[in-house]
C-alpha cells in the first residue's frame, strides 16, 4: 500500500470545505436579501412589524346629557376618581389589591371579589378596582403609588345622576356591558367587531334601563381612538399623537319632564308607599311627571352594583326596579266609569235615566254589591260618577254592552301601546267578548259585563294610560299621545291631536260634569283631592295660593275620579278592617283628573298599590301634584332648546 500523503489530502479537503463553508455563508446572506427583496415589493414584513407594534385603543366617548324641559341637567358625565390595576405589571395580584383595600379601608371580602373580577378582564389595560373615590381617598392612593407596582389612579368620565332616586325610572341607568352584550354585538352584522371592541373597553357604559337604554344610540356618542405603540405584552409604550381621533360626545336629549314637578311627585309618595304618578299636557302629550315609587339610586348601577344591595332591590315586594307608570298594570276600578258612562250615552241612555241604588243589584242569581252597603238611592249619570255608584254602572254597562265599552276604552287610550322610548312599556288589556272567547275558551256572561261596568275583572291599565284617558277627556276627545322626549336627533314634534270619531262633545260634557262633581260638590268622593286652595288672578288668570285677601277671586278647580280596585276576588276583603289585611291583598288606590276646570291643560293619574281607598290615599297625592302643576303652569313657560343647551355644555368643556 503506497504511503498516503495525509497532509496533501488534508489540504485538498480543507480547501473544499472552505469553499462549502463560504457557500453556506453566502446562502445565508442571499436568503436575507431575498426576505428583504420580497418585502420591497409586498411590504408584508413591514406591515407585519407595524401590525405588531401599533395598536388602536378606544377612547370612550362622553355620554350625552339628559335635560328636563327647562334645561336642568338630570343625567351627566362627571369626573370620577378611580383606582385601577394593570395585571401585566403586577407580580402578586392578591397582595397588591389587599394593600389597596387597606389604604381605602375596605374589607378582605372586597379584595377577594376585586381579584376575581380583575382576573376576568384584560391583562394589559387598566381594570378598575374601586370607583367613586373621594378626593381624600384618591390622594391617599396617589401618595402610595410608588410602592404599588401595577396600580394606577386616574380620573375618568362617569355617568352621574344628580337627583338620584327621582329619575331612576324614566331615565334608568347605565351599566358596564356584559359578556352577553359583547356577544350580541358580534352576532349583529350591523354592529360587529368594532362595536364589540368598544364594549370591551372598561370605561364604556351602556344604557340598561329607562331612556338610557331606549336612547342608547343617541346618547352614546362616537368612540375616539388612539394609535399607540405597544410591546409584545400589549403594554403601551407611547402614542402617535397625529393619529389620535378624539371621541364625540353623545347628543343631548331634552325631556318633557318638569324637574320641579317630578321632584314634588316623588316627595309625595310616602316612604312605605308603592305606586306611580303621571302628569301630562293634554294638548301636546308632554309627560311632565313620570314618577314611580319607591325609587332607587341609579348611581349604584353605574360602576356595578354589589350582589346584596341588588338582591334587596330585586326581591323587594314593592318592586322599586319597576317603572310602575308604564309597566304597572292595574284594574282601573271606578276610574273606568267615565268610559262606561260615554258608552252608555252612545247606546242612547238619556240624562234623565236613573237607577235606584239600594246597596246591591241582583243579577244572574246573585247580588252584585255597591261599595256603599246602604245604597245611594236614586242616581243619574252625574250623581253616579260623583258618588261612584256601582249599581248605576252595573246597569249602564248592561245597556251599553261590553263591545261598545271596550271600543270607547280603546279610543281613550286604555290598552293602547305608547312608545315613549323606554323599554318595557306594557299595553294593559281591555278584554271584550271576542278576546274572552279566544283566550279563555268560554263565553262572555252578563256577570262579566257587570264587573266591566266598575272596571274590575280581567282588564288592566297602566297609570300612563289612565293619564292619557284623563287627557282625552279633558281635551274634549282629541287623541293626544304621550311623549317623554321633547328634543333629540330624529325626534320630531308630534302632529296636532285629532278629534276622535264618534265621541260627541255632549256625551263628554256629561261625564266631565260628573268628574267635576267628584272633586267639587258635596258628597263627591274626590273632595279631598279637589280642594286645591288655589285661586286665579282676575286679569292674568295666573293661579296663586288662596289667602284671606284673595278669597273673592275665582277658585282654580280640577275634575277627577277616584278608584278603589280589588286585587283579589271581589268581596274577599269585605267586612275586614284594612289593617288586618295582608299588604299584597289590599285594594289598589287610584285617582285620575284633569285641570284647571275653567281651561283644562293638564291631566294626572296616580296609583298607589295596595293603598286602600282611592279617595283617601291616591287623591291627596294627586292633589299635591296637581296643585303644584297648576301653580307652576309649565305649559306657559318657554322650554329650553337643545341647541343652546349643547352650546353652553361645549363651551364649558
Partner 1 sequence: MTLAAGSNPNTLAERVSRLNWGIITVMVALALIGVLMHFSVSSGAWTDMPLTHGIRFAVVMMMVLIAATILDPRFWLAIAYPLYAGALLLLILVEVAGETRMGATRWLALGPVSLQPSEFMKIGIVLALARYYHQLDPRRTGALLSILPPFLMIIAPVALIMHQPDLGTALLIVFAGIAVMFLAGLSWWIVGGGVVLGAAGAFFAYNYVLHGYQRDRVNVFLGLADDPLGAGYHVLQSKIAIGSAGLFGRGYLQGTQSQLDFLPEKHTDFIFTMIVEEFGLLGGALVLGLFTALMALAVQVALRARSLFGKLAAAGVAATLACYVFINTAMVIGLVPVVGIPLPMISFGGTAMLTIMVGFAIVLSIDLHRDQHGTRGILW
Residues within the interface to partner 1 (CB under 8 A): 1, 3-7, 9-11, 13-14, 17-18, 21-22, 24-25, 27-29, 31-33, 35-36, 38-39, 44-46, 48-49, 52-53, 229-233, 237
Task: Please report how close the Cβ of residue 57 comes to partner 1 at its closest, in angstroms.
Answer: 16
C-alpha 225/C-alpha 241 separation (Å) is 11
Q: Which is nearer to partner 1, 55 or 316 (CB)?
A: 55
Q: Helix-strand-coil percent breakdown of the chain, rounded to 5?
A: 40, 20, 35
For 175, 208, 216, 275, 642, the CA distances from 212, given in Å and listed in that order, are: 10, 6, 6, 22, 17
- Closest to partner 1 by CB, 18 or 445: 18
CB of 485 to partner 1, least distance (A): 49
Note whether 58 and 223 are within 8 A (CB): yes
Q: Provide the minimum distance between the beta carbon of 325 and partner 1 in the complex, in angstroms, as a whole number.
A: 54
- Smallest gap from residue 226 Cβ to partner 1 (A): 17
Q: Nearest distance from residue 14's CB to partner 1, in Å?
A: 6
User: What burial letters (b/e) apply to 274-295, b meaning 16+ CB within 10 Å?
Assistant: bbbbbbbbbbbbbbbbbbbbbb
Q: What does residue 603 show for φ and ψ, rounded to 5 degrees?
A: -120, 150
79 phi, psi to nearest 5 deg: -65, 130
Nearer Cβ to partner 1 (2/495): 2
Cβ pair 260, 242 in contact under 8 A: no
| Least Å from the CB of residue 12 to partner 1 | 10
- Min CB(244)–partner 1 separation in Å: 20
Q: Which is nearer to partner 1, 10 or 578 (CB)?
A: 10
Nearest distance in Å: CB 30, partner 1: 10
Compute the distance between CA of residue 338 and CA of residue 469 in angstroms, rounded to an integer. 9
Closest approach of Cβ 13 to partner 1, in Å?
5
Nearest distance in Å: CB 108, partner 1: 36
- CB closer to partner 1 out of 232 and 271: 232
Nearer of residues 27 and 572 to partner 1, judged by Cβ? 27
Least Å from the CB of residue 193 to partner 1:
20
Judge contact between 546 and 377, C-beta under 8 A: no
Closest by Cα among 537, 458, 524, 471 to 500: 471
Phi, psi of 237 (to 5 degrees): -110, -20
When the beta carbons of 233 and 652 are compared against partner 1, the nearer one is 233
Nearer to partner 1, 87 or 358 (CB): 87
Secondary structure of 300-343 in HEC code, one letter for each residue: HHHCCCCHHHHHHHHHCCCCCCCCHHHHCCECCHHHHHHHHHHH
Min dist CB 25 to partner 1, Å, is: 5
How many Å separate Cα 474 from the centre of its chain?
27
Nearer to partner 1 (CB atom), residue 13 or residue 245: 13
Left if phi > 0, otherwise alpha if psi is -120 to 50, otherwise beta: which for 128? Answer: beta
Report the 10 Å Cβ neighbour count for 128: 24
CA dist 264 and 457 (Å) reads: 33
Residues 181 and 376: their CA atoms lie apart, in Å, by 59
In the 8-state DSSP scheme, what is residue 467?
H
Pick 39 or 142: Cβ nearer partner 1? 39
Residues forming beta bridges with residue 248, ordered by sequence position: 222
d(CA 81, CA 635): 40
In the bound state with partner 1, the residue whose beta carbon lies nearer, of 5 and 239, is: 5
**Contact 294/319 with Cβ under 8 angstroms?**
no
Closest C-alpha to 592, from 399, 414, 391? 414
Give whichever of 20 and 498 is closer to partner 1, judged by the CB atom. Answer: 20
Find the shortest distance in angstroms from Cβ 42 to partner 1: 9
* DSSP per-residue string spanning 42-88: H-HHHHHHHHHHEEEEEEPPPPPPEE-TT--EEEEEEEEEEEEE-GG
Cβ proximity to partner 1: between 24 and 271 the closer is 24
Closest CA to 177 of 216, 148, 232: 216
Amino acid at each position: 500500500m503506497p504511503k498516503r500523503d495525509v497532509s496533501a489530502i488534508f489540504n485538498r479537503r480543507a480547501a473544499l470545505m472552505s469553499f462549502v463553508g463560504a457557500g453556506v455563508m453566502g446562502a445565508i446572506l442571499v436568503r436575507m436579501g431575498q426576505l428583504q427583496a420580497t418585502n420591497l415589493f409586498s411590504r408584508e414584513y413591514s406591515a407585519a412589524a407595524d401590525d405588531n407594534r401599533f395598536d388602536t385603543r378606544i377612547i370612550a366617548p362622553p355620554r350625552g346629557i339628559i335635560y328636563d324641559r327647562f334645561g336642568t341637567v338630570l343625567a351627566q358625565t362627571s369626573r370620577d376618581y378611580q383606582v385601577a390595576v394593570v395585571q401585566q405589571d403586577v407580580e402578586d395580584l392578591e397582595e397588591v389589591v389587599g394593600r389597596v383595600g387597606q389604604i381605602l379601608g375596605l374589607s378582605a371580602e372586597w379584595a377577594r371579589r376585586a381579584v376575581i373580577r380583575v382576573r376576568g378582564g384584560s391583562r394589559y389595560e387598566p381594570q378598575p378596582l374601586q370607583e367613586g373615590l373621594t378626593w381624600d381617598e384618591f390622594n391617599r392612593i396617589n401618595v402610595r403609588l410608588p410602592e404599588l407596582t401595577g396600580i394606577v389612579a386616574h380620573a375618568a368620565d362617569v355617568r352621574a345622576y344628580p337627583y338620584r332616586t327621582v329619575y331612576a325610572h324614566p331615565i334608568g341607568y347605565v351599566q358596564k356591558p356584559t359578556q352577553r352584550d359583547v356577544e350580541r354585538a358580534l352576532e349583529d352584522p350591523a354592529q360587529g367587531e368594532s362595536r364589540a371592541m368598544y364594549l370591551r373597553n372598561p370605561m364604556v357604559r351602556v344604557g340598561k334601563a329607562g331612556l338610557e337604554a331606549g336612547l342608547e344610540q343617541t346618547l352614546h356618542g362616537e368612540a375616539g381612538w388612539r394609535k399607540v405603540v405597544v410591546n409584545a405584552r400589549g403594554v403601551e409604550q407611547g402614542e402617535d399623537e397625529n393619529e389620535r381621533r378624539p371621541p364625540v360626545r353623545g347628543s343631548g336629549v331634552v325631556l318633557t319632564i318638569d324637574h320641579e314637578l317630578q321632584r314634588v311627585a316623588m316627595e309625595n309618595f310616602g316612604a312605605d308607599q308603592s305606586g306611580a304618578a303621571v302628569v301630562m299636557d293634554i294638548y301636546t302629550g308632554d309627560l311632565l311627571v313620570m314618577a314611580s315609587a319607591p325609587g332607587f339610586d341609579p348611581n349604584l348601577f353605574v360602576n356595578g352594583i354589589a350582589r346584596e344591595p341588588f338582591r334587596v332591590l330585586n326581591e323587594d315586594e314593592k318592586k322599586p326596579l319597576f317603572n310602575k307608570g308604564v309597566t304597572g298594570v292595574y284594574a282601573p276600578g271606578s276610574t273606568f266609569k267615565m268610559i262606561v258612562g260615554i258608552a252608555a250615552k252612545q247606546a242612547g241612555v238619556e240624562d234623565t235615566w236613573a237607577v235606584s241604588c239600594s246597596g246591591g243589584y241582583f243579577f244572574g242569581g246573585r247580588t252584585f254589591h255597591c261599595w256603599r252597603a246602604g245604597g245611594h238611592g236614586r242616581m243619574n249619570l252625574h250623581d253616579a260618577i260623583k258618588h261612584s255608584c256601582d249599581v248605576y254602572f252595573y246597569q249602564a254597562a248592561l245597556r251599553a254592552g261590553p263591545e261598545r265599552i271596550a271600543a270607547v276604552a280603546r279610543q281613550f287610550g286604555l290598552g293602547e301601546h305608547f312608545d315613549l322610548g323606554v323599554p318595557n312599556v306594557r299595553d294593559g288589556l281591555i278584554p271584550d267578548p271576542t278576546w274572552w272567547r279566544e283566550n279563555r275558551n268560554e263565553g262572555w256572561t252578563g256577570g262579566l259585563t257587570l264587573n266591566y261596568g266598575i272596571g274590575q275583572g280581567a282588564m288592566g291599565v297602566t297609570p300612563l294610560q289612565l293619564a292619557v284617558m284623563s287627557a282625552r277627556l279633558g281635551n274634549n276627545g282629541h287623541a293626544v299621545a304621550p311623549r317623554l322626549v321633547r328634543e333629540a336627533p330624529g325626534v320630531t314634534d308630534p302632529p296636532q291631536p285629532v278629534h276622535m270619531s264618534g265621541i260627541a262633545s255632549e256625551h263628554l260634557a256629561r261625564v266631565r260634569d260628573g268628574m267635576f262633581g267628584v272633586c267639587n260638590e258635596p258628597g263627591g268622593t274626590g273632595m279631598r283631592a279637589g280642594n286645591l286652595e288655589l285661586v286665579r288672578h282676575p286679569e292674568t288668570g295666573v293661579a296663586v295660593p288662596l289667602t284671606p285677601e284673595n278669597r273673592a277671586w275665582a277658585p282654580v278647580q280640577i275634575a277627577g275620579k277616584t278608584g278603589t280596585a280589588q286585587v283579589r276576588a271581589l268581596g274577599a276583603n269585605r267586612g275586614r278592617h284594612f289593617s288586618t289585611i295582608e299588604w299584597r291583598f289590599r285594594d289598589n288606590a287610584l285617582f285620575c283628573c284633569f285641570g284647571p276646570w275653567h281651561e283644562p291643560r293638564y291631566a294626572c293619574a296616580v296609583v298607589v298599590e295596595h293603598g286602600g281607598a282611592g279617595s283617601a290615599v291616591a287623591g291627596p297625592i294627586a292633589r299635591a301634584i296637581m296643585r303644584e302643576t297648576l301653580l307652576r303652569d309649565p305649559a306657559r313657560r318657554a322650554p329650553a332648546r337643545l341647541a343652546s343647551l349643547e352650546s353652553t355644555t361645549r363651551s364649558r368643556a
